[in-house]
Amino acid sequence: MSGISAVPIDKSYNAHSDSVCMENVLPARIIASSDDDIPPEHFIDVGRAIGQEYRHILVGMDNRPSTDVIHQAFIAGALSTGAKVYDAGRIPLPALPFSDCDVNCMVYVSNPDNNDCMSGIELMNRDGSYFSDIQLLRLNEYLKGAVSVPDNYELHDAERICGAFDIYKEKLRANSGNPHSDANLRFFCDSLTHNTPVILNGRSTLALMVNCHMNNRSTERIVPNNEEDLKMLAKTVKANYGSVGIAINANGDRIAGIDENGGYIGGTMMFALLMDRLRPSSVALPIDTPMVITDLFDSEFVFTPSSYHRIGEVMKANNVKFGGSADGAFIFPSMSYVPDGIMAGNVISSIASETSISNYLDSLPEYSVTRTSMRYMGDTNLVNRRMDATLRSLGCDKVYRADSWRLDYGEGIFIITVNESRMTIDITVESKDKVYSTGLMEIATEAVDSCLKSISR
């Protein structure tokens, strides 16, 4: 690989250089659920907060049953401030930036992570990148009532916006590579994003729907899709020789798959497939990304904090050509800075029409992965400072930090994360050699133990 860097934590992750998490900050995704005790009416207040700061707002939504009430509550709140709201209606998240309107903020009503919760919202800039911590802190001031609102403003109606999906579809086909393959590929699409097969059928492939329903009766599952959730898709692919399958979540921003033999393709292997096809000169990826990605490909890697919500922000700041994470979220800046599972599916269809995906995945080396955790007591900021000093004193030339530390010893890596919510220090070690992996685990645990002892003295 040509180079690796890590974005400094105080520039890419949060405003407090020693803190792993920020307290009382509006998250980039706000979920309304009984567990979080956030009623749908809360989104009227969120709409007001965003409407005061961003006067031209684009809103889209997925097809969940709970989406409509959140969608209407947010728009009502935003309109009450005199903001101009453009409503794209039900649309895949990756298509939202292609709406033809002049806005400085995008809001998407969805909850792609957990079907047990009601919908929530995702907050993005016009180019699809998620809100930064500074933007979220600013919105918090509005929610607390700390920022005054002008008394005089003009009220508007929400304006319906159409055509974004068609623009996105054409842009996606133009950016997908090899759209004129002569291969006759059957592509089974298990998706909570109902119009994904419409896009895929524009290629030489034949995309057939599995669980793509507009009547809200799609199979319930947690997304990103795991192997257990995709048994029906795997069974369908096995029954149709030479076909492959993809699974895309409710808003279209993440992907998993099934190869020709019915084998599950998780986020890491999907990442490897896309890297092998695209060969990007630079890649932004979370600091806890498995070693197979950084070990096999000759790209410049820029590590980001663990959440995929920060990838787009880092890509913009560093002019990075591709971004992705092991949970199946991939960003193609030629499209936008929104994670785009549909675009990834189109690239995968191009790969599958030319070569065997299962054969390629079987050729990848296997890595030994071991994990452990050690409990700590006391101030997390102090633990972070001492841990940083301890790890940098180990003599490893490649120490990277975002919200975790990644130490690369060439033949193996270890990742250390201070988990404030569980009061643990989590260690992950990875290597192609199990003996080498055991040695790295000893180095990592001794370093953590030394750090904790220095604090307790």
Closest by alpha carbon to 275, among 259, 260, 294? Answer: 294
CA 451 to chain CA centroid, nearest Å: 32
Q: Which strand ranges, in their side-by-side order, compose the sheet holding 405-408? A: 368-375, 424-431, 412-419, 405-408, 399-401
- Express each pLDDT in 266-309 by its tens digit: 899 999 999 999 999 999 999 999 999 999 999 999 999 987 88
Peptide bond before residue 39 is cis, with ω within 30 degrees of 0: no
The residue whose two tokens read 């269809």 is 349
Instruction: Provide the H-helix boundaries in 112-163.
Output: 133-143
Band (pLDDT 50/70/90 cuts) for residue 378 is confident
Q: What per-residue confidence (pLDDT) applies to 251?
A: 83
Give the per-residue pLDDT at 369. Answer: 95
The pLDDT assigned to 118 comes to 62
* Confidence category of residue 4, pLDDT binned at 50, 70, 90: low
d(CA 150, CA 455): 50
Backbone angles phi, psi at 374, to 5 degrees: -130, 135
Q: Place 243 in a pLDDT band, splitting at 50, 70 and 90.
A: confident
Name the pLDDT band for 221 (thresholds 50, 70, 90). very low
Q: Residue 165: which pLDDT band, with cuts at 50, 70 and 90? A: confident
**Average pLDDT over every residue of 341-349:** 88
Position 78 confidence tier, pLDDT thresholds 50, 70, 90: very high
Of 181, 163, 160, 162, the residue nearest 171 (C-alpha): 163
> What pLDDT score does 230 carry?
76
Distance, in Å, from the CA atom of 68 to the CA atom of 73, rounded to the nearest integer, reads 8
Q: What's the pLDDT tens digit per position in 92-106? A: 899 999 999 999 999
pLDDT of 205 reads 47
Domains of the chain: 32-164 (3.40.120.10), 175-280+321-363 (3.40.120.10), 368-456 (3.30.310.50)
pLDDT of residue 306: 85
* Percentage helix, strand, coil for the chain under 3-state DSSP, each rounded to 5: 35, 25, 45
Packing angle between helix 380-392 and helix 434-456, nearest 10 degrees?
Answer: 130
Rounded to whole angstroms, the Cα distance separating 29 from 22 reads 14
Rounded-to-integer distance, Cα 68 and Cα 66, Å: 6
What is the number of other CB atoms lying within 10 angstroms of the CB of residue 160? 9
- How crowded is the C-beta side of 223, counted as CA atoms within 13 Å? 28
253 burial type by CB count under 10 A (0-12 exposed, 13-18 middle, 19+ buried): buried
Highest mean pLDDT out of 101-115, 169-183, 216-230, 356-370: 356-370
The average pLDDT across 435-447 equals 96
User: What is the DSSP secondary structure assignment for residue 118, as one 8-state letter?
Assistant: P
What type of residue is 367?
Y
Sheet containing strand 56-61, strands side by side: 29-31, 120-124, 105-110, 56-61, 84-90, 159-160
Per-residue pLDDT tens over the stretch 126-153: 999 999 888 988 888 888 875 566 666 6
More confident residue, 218 or 360: 360
Of all residues in the chain, what percent carry a pLDDT higher than 90?
48
CA atoms within 13 A on the CB side of 182: 0
Residue 12 has pLDDT above 70, yes or no: no
| Contact criterion met (CB below 8 Å) for 51 and 83 | yes
What predicted TM-score, i.e. pTM, was given to this entire model?
0.85
Give me the count of residues in the chain.
457
Q: Is the pLDDT assigned to residue 207 strictly greater than 80?
A: no
Q: How many CB atoms lie within 10 A of CB 369?
A: 12
β 84-90/56-61 pair status: parallel
Mean of pLDDT values over 360-382: 93
Sign of CA dihedral 215, 92, 354, 269: negative
Categorize the per-residue pLDDT at 397 as very low, low, confident or very high, splitting at 50, 70 and 90: confident
Q: Which of 62, 53, 165, 148 is nearest to 103 (CA)?
A: 53
Tell whether the model's pLDDT for residue 439 goes beyond 80: yes
Pick 111 or 377 by higher pLDDT. Answer: 377
Q: What is the pLDDT of residue 140?
A: 85
How does pLDDT run across 17-74, given as a tens digit for each residue? 332 233 344 566 665 544 455 777 888 989 999 998 999 999 999 877 778 889 999 9
- Complete DSSP assignment for 264-323: EE-HHHHHHHHHHHH--SEEEEETT--HHHHHH--SEEEEE-SSGGGHHHHHHHHT-SEE
